[in-house]
Structure 1
């Protein structure tokens, strides 16, 4: 167990380390920033507006702006961001989505079939892929959520989908700002 005084020092070090990374992010050239943010959200406009909002004072400030900007995007930009995600249960070719959908990797054949059938029904009903904040969820949980969301009307489901996209963006931003900026990015 960490003693309170040690915990306080640890928290200060973590805050200091985050602010260094945040300062690096705040000073990235636009092209590098856009490339980096595209890995978080495929909406070019979202990335541009995020960079225009710099400098950020802390990670919470970044997350607040990310949420606000996402909710203000036009439909086409939301669609571009959503459509860049892999279908839940399909093969994934990027590390972020593989980590996020790790719960499907151990799913039974029955769960995978439910996801595939649910995905088809969802796309038929709503006209776009099922998007869910998958991190920490099992394949079974994602299949159950999918089944439940099939009962939503289109307007409700669009709000839910945007909320899930926001959760994914937040996690990816937190991970981005927790890693040092790569050499040569400047």
Structure 2
């Protein structure tokens, strides 16, 4: 889907919120960004998104809701089954995991489970442009952190992903 800002600005609140949920599954973020329409530029929308995200990430339940909208890195079955509303925007984001060697994928799966067990939420990383090995290296580097540090890391990575998805959503159709 590709929209113009004018089309988005004309949506009713429910349509705008639903559209934004394809970029980030925090209902608070989506509602608050949708409520701030109209936006005259993508830059203004992105800036407002950042401001709202700064508030949302302060509330752990809102942050965890956003993180729940992601499959585990490399888990394509989860992507297709659980996250249908973000499937189109997320599928290529993990393309580096699609070409990985089996042992790297197995290590990612094991590391993801250890991360989930330790922190109570999935490992999230801005995966675009990263190989499976790079994602594994980042996961292993972050695994020793404490939960508070990882909540901050996850919030930062989520915002990068949200910005990418907003840019793709409003990219002019060619």
| TM, length-normalised to structure 2 | 0.87
**2:60 is aligned with 1:75:** yes
Q: CA deviation at 1:179?
A: 4.6
Of the three residues 16, 29, 32, the one matched with 1:49 is 32
Larger Rg: 1
Of the three residues 72, 96, 106, the one matched with 1:87 is 72
Moved more, 26-35 or 134-143: 26-35
Aligned residues: 162
**Distance in 2 between residues matched to 1:39 and 1:21, nearest whole Å:** 16
**Distance in 2 between residues matched to 1:154 and 1:170, nearest whole Å:** 24
**Distance in 2 between residues matched to 1:34 and 1:52, nearest whole Å:** 8
Runs of 4+ in 1 over 3 A off after TM superposition: none
Unaligned regions of 5+ residues in structure 1, if any? Answer: 1-17, 181-186
Matches within 5 A, 1:82-121: 82-91=67-76, 92-93=79-80, 94-121=87-114
Unaligned regions of 5+ residues in structure 2, if any? Answer: 81-86
**2:30 is aligned with 1:30:** no
**2:152 is aligned with 1:176:** no
Describe the superposition over 1:115-159 as per-residue Cα deviations: whole angstroms up to 9, x where unpaired.
011111111211110011111111111101100111222111110
| TM, length-normalised to structure 1 | 0.82
Of the three residues 103, 126, 133, the one matched with 2:126 is 133
**Distance in 2 between residues matched to 1:125 and 1:166, nearest whole Å:** 22
